């Protein structure tokens, strides 16, 4: 496939992190020399094991989506990456626009409340991002996004039991450059971006900057609200991002980069679609799945701000040293109307306030027979929050507190060539983590809000709080990896591996009593794979895997005499298993015509869910489901390049299919049927390389598909519904994007 990259790499560098959040380490470089193009297949290099290797020789199930593919497919947010990675779910699935739900191979985290840990790690250039808030990033010409599937416990540590996702940005090089880009589309979409790099000292010192304004009208509206004079757009977008970067390369052996970024997302809170009429109001079910009702303010705010300092020193031809220091803050003030009616039946205004600091030192070695990655890692975070669950139009169940952690880790992983064809991999990581948590709980016989001024003329005042939990716990874990690889010939490699990962232990942020902590979740995974190329035109990579997910952390509701008290306990009550396969195919039919195909299949289920009934344990595994995990995912894409007198054109399209999946893990009554999305695009590049334009049509057939849900409802056994918590029939769904059309034009000077 021809390359049309105008090297607007700094725009990627500048905004990829500014719109914050990503995944595990797998660094790709593409050989775009004429010789490489003539071979039909691109040569891709990755550092999935924190050392430079080609994609075809690294024994890891990894998908790499480069900047060219992102640009030509008009991919604007990280959630669209799920199309290209088998058995992967990335969705903005509930009441906020920027909170990411990530599942890989059926492993992730459904609940984004503070104190809960994700199951898929998100990284930006080696920096781990601890919270899902603000993790739905807009993709602006990044160098690539990497998806590593399966536990990454030895190299990446805790909270990568499903896998890892990483945004990779480019180093600056070359002359002074400025990039301008504008995108216009239906629903009033207007995106404006400007970025630049300035060589302060030629080939030594660079300064860069970027600004982005990303806006869009709502896909729907709030049809009725309890409040006047507020924005009624639903599923709208209003994001502003900025970034500053300084890069210094005093010698060929030393590279230093400092980044600062800040993102403000003022998009409205998302309102869900009522699938069942309310029994407490006369508001009908809306005609559009993007319309809603609310009794809360529609205002929503997510702020991300952070800095990082990276220094890399190449000691000699074999050894290198790298230091990554980073800090980040996240503040979210959000309004989630669970019942989506004009009445205060079940409303949850909330505040999230998170800070983190990390320091990693890496010492790496590479020669003809041995590749070694090792390091020390320190992580410290404060994760706090406050929400008021307003119920029955008269009561407020208030929760607040913090769930803070401090962890240390040491790791090493090496691969050694026993012969020219046979090698083995051995890795391990030791992590020690201490968590401290407190939970405040109160029940108010009035309507209260965590932040004054959310309701006009309302003054919250000082309200008493009761501390119900104050806990401290230290965990330690040794996570190994063992693998063997055999290079059949220059074009084929087979591998097998065993790896283990763990998700951090925690305390229940919804506790009503001083309940004990829950221990870490553990995933053991075995996989067998093949990577092959045929006739310099066909690439076939396949993996078969099996995993066991133990000590899953789940909440259960304990009956209480007071119906206003939602006594939610947390425990290690679940175990699940999965068996699956992944296939990725690339075929360069001609120099201009390319096909790609990705297929994922997974069979996963809960095998045990034990809960105490007062005299013994009940197994409730039949009532639990592995949510957000279709049994089949598939993507078929085609790209065609051709040259004309007015420039180069790239025409592409793809069909993405997701099989049936459940929306909620416990007591699910809502299943999304299988569906397919058709996407089309036409891209143009000027002959001088200064101009480019793209026209993209997403979800051509305007499919309606659910990506998230809340169900506080019960079935009566006769096909009807009984009211659940809050006293109403609350069954709410959130939907993916409708059919959209956009036109982008960019200029570099």
Q: What is the pLDDT of residues 5-22, one digit of tens each?
A: 444 433 333 333 333 333
CA distances from 310 to 124, 315, 326, 393, 448 (A): 12, 16, 9, 52, 45
- Kindly list the domain boundaries of the chain, sorted by start residue: 9-748
User: What's the mean pLDDT in 684-699?
Assistant: 96
Q: Which two tokens stand for residue 654?
A: 């793809």
Instruction: Tell me, yes or no, if the pTM score tops 0.85.
Output: yes
- Please state which of the four CATH numbers 2.40.170.20, 3.40.190.10, 3.40.50.300, 3.40.309.10 is assigned to the domain occupying 9-748: 2.40.170.20
Give the pLDDT confidence of 201-221 residue by residue, as tens digits.
999 999 999 899 999 999 999
Average pLDDT (647-671) is 93
- pLDDT attached to residue 667: 76
Q: Which has the higher per-residue pLDDT, 56 or 659? A: 659
Q: What is the mean pLDDT of residues 65-83?
A: 88
- Between 415 and 454, whose confidence is greater? 415
- Mention every residue, 6+ apart, whose C-beta is less than 8 A from residue 490: none
Among residues 599, 592, 590, 650, which one has the least CA distance to residue 68?
650
- Beta 346-366 vs 292-294: how paired, if at all? unpaired
- Of 183, 211, 215, the closest CA to residue 745 belongs to 183
User: What mean pLDDT is predicted for residues 710-715?
Assistant: 84
Of the two residues 725 and 194, the one the predictor is more confident about is 194
Q: What is the pLDDT of residues 331-379, one digit of tens each?
A: 998 889 999 999 988 999 999 999 999 999 999 999 999 999 999 999 9
Q: Specify whether the CB–CB gap between 696 and 651 falls below 8 A.
A: no
pLDDT surpassing 50 at residue 263: yes
3-class secondary structure for 60-124?
CCEEEEEHHHHHHCCCCEHHHHHHCCCCEEEECCCCCCCECEEEECCEECCCCCCCCCCCEEEEE
CB 389 within 8 A of CB 400: no
Provide the pLDDT for residue 131. 81
Distance CA(742)–CA(739), nearest Å, equals 10
Question: C-alpha 323: how far from its chain's center?
Answer: 25
Structure tokens given for 410: 């040491």
Q: In the predicted model, is pLDDT for residue 238 greater than 60? A: yes
């Amino acid at each position: 496939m021809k390359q049309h990259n105008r090297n607007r790499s700094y725009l990627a560098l500048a905004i990829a992190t500014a719109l914050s959040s990503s995944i595990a380490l797998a660094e790709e470089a593409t050989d775009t020399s004429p010789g490489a193009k003539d071979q039909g297949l691109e040569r891709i290099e990755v550092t999935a094991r924190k050392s430079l290797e080609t994609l075809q020789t690294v024994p890891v199930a990894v998908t790499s989506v480069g900047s060219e593919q992102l640009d030509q497919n008009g991919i604007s947010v990280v959630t669209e990456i799920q199309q290209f990675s088998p058995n992967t779910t990335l969705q903005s699935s509930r009441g906020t626009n920027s909170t990411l739900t990530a599942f890989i191979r059926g492993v992730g985290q459904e609940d984004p409340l503070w104190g809960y840990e994700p199951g898929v790690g998100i990284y930006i250039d080696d920096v781990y991002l601890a919270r899902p808030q603000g993790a739905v990033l807009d993709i602006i010409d990044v160098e690539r996004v990497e998806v590593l599937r399966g536990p990454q416990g030895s190299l990446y540590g805790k909270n990568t039991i499903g896998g890892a996702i990483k945004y990779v940005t480019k180093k600056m090089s070359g002359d002074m450059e400025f990039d301008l880009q504008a995108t216009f589309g239906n629903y009033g979409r207007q995106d404006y971006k400007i970025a630049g790099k300035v060589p302060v000292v030629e080939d030594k010192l660079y300064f860069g900057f970027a600004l982005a304004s990303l806006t869009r009208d709502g896909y729907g509206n709030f049809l009725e609200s309890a409040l006047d004079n507020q924005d009624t757009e639903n599923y709208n977008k209003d994001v502003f991002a900025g970034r500053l970067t300084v890069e210094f390369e005093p010698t060929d052996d030393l590279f230093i980069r400092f980044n600062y970024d800040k993102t403000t997302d003022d998009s409205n809170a998302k309102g869900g679609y009522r699938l069942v009429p309310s029994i407490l109001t006369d508001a009908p079910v809306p005609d559009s799945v993007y319309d809603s009702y609310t009794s809360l303010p529609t205002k929503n705010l997510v702020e991300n701000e952070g800095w990082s300092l990276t220094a890399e020193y190449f000691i000699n031809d074999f050894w290198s040293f790298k230091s990554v220091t980073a800090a980040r803050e996240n503040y979210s003030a959000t309004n989630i109307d669970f019942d989506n009616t004009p009445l205060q039946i079940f409303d949850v205004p909330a505040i999230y306030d998170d800070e983190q600091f990390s320091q990693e030192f890496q010492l790496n070695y590479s020669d003809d027979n041995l590749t070694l990655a090792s390091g020390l890692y320190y992580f410290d975070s404060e994760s706090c929050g406050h929400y008021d669950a307003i119920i029955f139009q008269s009561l407020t169940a208030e929760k607040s507190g913090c769930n803070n952690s401090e962890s240390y880790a040491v790791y090493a992983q090496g691969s050694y060539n026993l012969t020219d064809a046979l090698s083995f991999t051995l890795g391990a990581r030791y992590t020690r983590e201490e968590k401290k948590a407190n939970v405040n709980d109160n029940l108010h016989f009035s309507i209260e809000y965590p932040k004054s001024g959310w309701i006009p003329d309302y003054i919250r005042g000082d309200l008493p709080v009761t501390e119900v939990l104050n806990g401290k716990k230290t965990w330690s874990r040794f996570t190994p990896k063992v693998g063997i690889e055999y290079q059949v010939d220059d074009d084929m490699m087979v591998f097998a591996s065993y790896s283990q990962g763990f998700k951090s232990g925690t305390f229940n942020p919804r506790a009503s009593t001083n309940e004990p902590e829950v221990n870490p979740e553990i995933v053991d995974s075995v996989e067998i794979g093949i990577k092959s190329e045929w006739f310099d035109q066909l690439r076939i990579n396949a993996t078969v895997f099996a995993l066991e997910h133990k000590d899953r952390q789940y909440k259960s509701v304990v009956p209480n005499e007071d119906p206003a008290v939602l006594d939610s306990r947390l425990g290690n009550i679940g175990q699940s298993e999965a068996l699956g396969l992944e296939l990725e195919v690339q075929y360069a039919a001609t120099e201009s015509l390319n096909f790609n195909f990705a297929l994922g299949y997974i069979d996963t289920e809960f095998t045990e869910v034990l809960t105490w009934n007062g005299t013994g344990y009940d197994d409730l595994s039949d009532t639990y489901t592995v949510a957000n995990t279709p049994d089949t995912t598939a993507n078929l894409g085609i790209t065609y390049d051709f040259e004309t007198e007015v420039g180069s054109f790239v025409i592409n399209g793809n069909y993405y299919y997701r099989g049936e999946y459940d929306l909620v893990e416990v007591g699910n009554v809502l299943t999304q049927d299988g569906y397919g999305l058709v996407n089309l695009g036409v891209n143009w590049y000027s002959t001088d390389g200064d101009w480019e334009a793209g026209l993209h049509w997403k979800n051509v057939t305007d499919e309606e598909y659910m990506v998230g849900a809340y169900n506080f409802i019960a079935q009566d056994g006769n096909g009807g519904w009984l009211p659940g918590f809050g006293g109403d029939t609350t069954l709410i769904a959130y939907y993916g994007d409708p059919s959209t059309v956009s036109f982008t034009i960019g200029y570099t000077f």
